[in-house]
Amino acid sequence: MNIKTVFLTIAISTLIIGCSDTTDDTVSTSNTKQNLKYSEPMIFANPEVVTTTPLEKIVREVDGESRFGVRLLIQNNSDKDITGIKGKMLYFDKFDDVIISLSVKNEDIYIASGESLDAGPNWEYNQYNSSHVQFMNTDFDDMRYEFQLDTVLFSDGSSS
């Protein structure tokens, strides 16, 4: 094997490894999908309980730290009051590749039955994380959004 072949092999390996950089490698795309430019609610695995609609990308400074997130409308479609939610927000580029996967977990919310909450989950921004940079540099309307619900906690102590 000559030196050119070795360098080409290393370059291709680096490209393949670099392209797999997401926050969560266990991404499933089996749920319903939505482009952000559409305003209808995101329907996912359990729409009779909750629907979510991303409203806008947000950036803020908190105690000298840069934070990024998404303003998200969470609609309670159940007949019970919600006190917690756990899931994953996925954002995809125009090629349908995952830009970023963000975990959402909040045990301190309250959404009455039939009501909605305008929430702003956010995460510490890392300028050296390629997923964070790509998310921040991609126009919100050019991303497709998916919310994968894991668990909803209700005020009566039950969960879904």
pLDDT tens digits, 8-56: 333 333 333 333 333 333 333 333 344 444 334 444 446 789 999 999 9
Q: How confident is the model at residue 85 (pLDDT cuts 50, 70, 90)?
A: very high
Tell me how far apart the alpha carbons of residues 153 and 130 are, in angstroms, rounded to a whole number: 33
Tell me how far apart the alpha carbons of residues 98 and 10 are, in angstroms, rounded to a whole number: 24
Q: Check whether 157 has a pLDDT greater than 50.
A: yes
In degrees to the nearest 10, what's the CA dihedral of 128, 129, 132, 137?
50
Tell me: the pLDDT tens digits for 95-142?
999 999 999 999 999 999 999 999 988 899 999 999 999 999 999 999
This model's pTM is above 0.75: no
Domains and CATH numbers, the chain: 3-154 (2.60.40.1620)
**Single-letter amino acid code for the residue at 13:** S
